[in-house]
Amino acid sequence: MWVECEGFETQRFQVFVPRGGSSGLEASLLQNGTTPEGFVYVPPGEFLYGGDPRASHPAAGQRLDLDGFFIARYELSNAEWFAFVNDPETLTRIHASERTRYLPRDIDGKELFAAREDGSGYDWFGYRLPPGHPSLARAPVLGISREDLRDYLAWRNQRAADNGEPWTFDLPTEAEWEKAARGVDGRSFPWGNRFDPSLCNMRQSQQSRTTPVPVDAFPMDSSVYGVRGMAGNIQDLVSSEYP
List per-residue pLDDT tens for the chain, 243 residues long. 888 999 999 988 887 777 888 877 788 899 999 999 999 999 999 999 999 888 888 888 999 999 999 999 999 999 999 999 989 899 888 888 766 678 888 878 787 776 555 444 444 457 777 766 768 889 999 999 899 999 999 999 999 999 999 999 999 999 999 999 999 988 999 999 999 999 999 887 776 767 888 999 999 999 999 999 999 898 899 998 865
d(Cα 130, Cα 82) in Å, to the nearest integer?
12
State how far the alpha carbon of 107 is from the alpha carbons of 114, 145, 231, in Å.
15, 10, 22
Q: Which residues pair with 201 in a beta bridge?
A: none
- Are residues 74 and 216 in contact, defined by beta-carbon separation less than 8 angstroms? yes
Q: What is the pLDDT of residue 21?
A: 85
pTM of the model: 0.87
How far is CA 18 from each of CA 64, 219, 240, rounded to the nearest angstrom?
15, 30, 29
Rounded to a whole number of angstroms, the CA Rg of the chain reads 20
